Amino acid sequence: MKLENERLCVEISEQGAEVTRIYDKKKDTELLWNGDPAYWKRHSPILFPNVGKTYHNTVLINGTQYPTSQHGFARDNRFQCVRETADTVSFLFSSNEETKEVYPFDFELTVTYRLEGDCLTVKWGVQNTGDEEMYFTIGGHPAFCFADAADKKEDYILKFPGKTSLDYILIDLAELAADTEKVYKLELEDECCPLNEEMFENDALILDHGQISEVWLCHKDGTPRVGMKCGGFPNFGIWSVKNAPFVCLEPWMGRCDDIGFDRELSEKPDVNKVPAGGRFEQSYVIVAG
């Protein structure tokens, strides 16, 4: 599936409703990671019904323990294209007997992409088609590649407009869960911080409390390459692979479990709750620099 205008060419797969290409025609450059499995085989997966890992890979729902996989199952399922116009395409994935073995709720997950000028809007809709309140987290995971495969992280900076510093936590690699007891400060200079390999030694940087509403990947001289506008998201992740020429900027509605979390999913911090027959919607925007 393809959306195209004078500025951008966007390709989307029905597998996971995943964007697989964002090409900036004006600057003749690819913006999205190509999925080279030598580093990471994905491009921009949708994380649902859980972002990251649950504690000990299980989740407690209405007194029953269910097994989970990292980032949920939506990214590994085929969606159906249900609407296509010149600038918009929508995909649908619905609960089924297989999903209900690990996630007992009835739902319809809709992902809509709209291309307008230099912006690609990503919109999620979760319809609760069951007769009980449902709970989930959902997130984006787009990987933005560097301009040249030989570029290093040190050739780039991240810009956070309006910010002087940010607080973040890390993953405890032994527990494979978020350690909220240790909070680190990311000091910014002129709203920017340099990228480097050391940033990702403990997996992702996790930024809670709605700190991120806009972020830009820029060249070291400050020239913007690609940006994201994501107001209204309580959580945000920044992640990469060692020596990989890309960085993931991840807007999340909820995130991985904290160390020791063993309560009901309904009690999870930042979990989304949708009543029977209700609907959840959220969106973010990718902007070419």
Q: CB 139: neighbour CB atoms within 10 A?
A: 27
pLDDT the model gives residue 103? 98
pLDDT (0 to 100) of residue 174: 94
The whole-number pLDDT of residue 285 equals 98
Total length of the chain = 289
pLDDT at 127: 98
Each residue of 233-256: pLDDT tens digit?
999 999 999 999 999 999 999 999
pLDDT for residue 282: 98
Q: What residues contact 144, with CB distance under 8 A and at least 6 apart?
A: 31, 32, 33, 217, 225, 226, 246, 247, 248, 249
Q: What is residue 131's predicted lDDT score, i.e. its pLDDT?
A: 97
Q: Which two tokens stand for residue 152?
A: 């290093």
Position 21 scores a pLDDT of: 98
Residues 105 and 47: their CA atoms lie apart, in Å, by: 16
Residue 65, sorted as left (phi over 0), alpha (psi -120 to 50) or beta, turns out to be beta
CB atoms within 10 A of CB 92: 17
> What is the C-alpha separation between 118 and 3, in angstroms, rounded?
12
pLDDT of amino acid 245: 98
Can you give the pLDDT at residue 2? Answer: 96
Q: Domains for the chain: give ranges and CATH numbers.
A: 2-288 (2.70.98.10)
Positions of the chain with pLDDT under 50:
none
Residues ≥6 apart with Cβ < 8 Å to 244: 39, 40
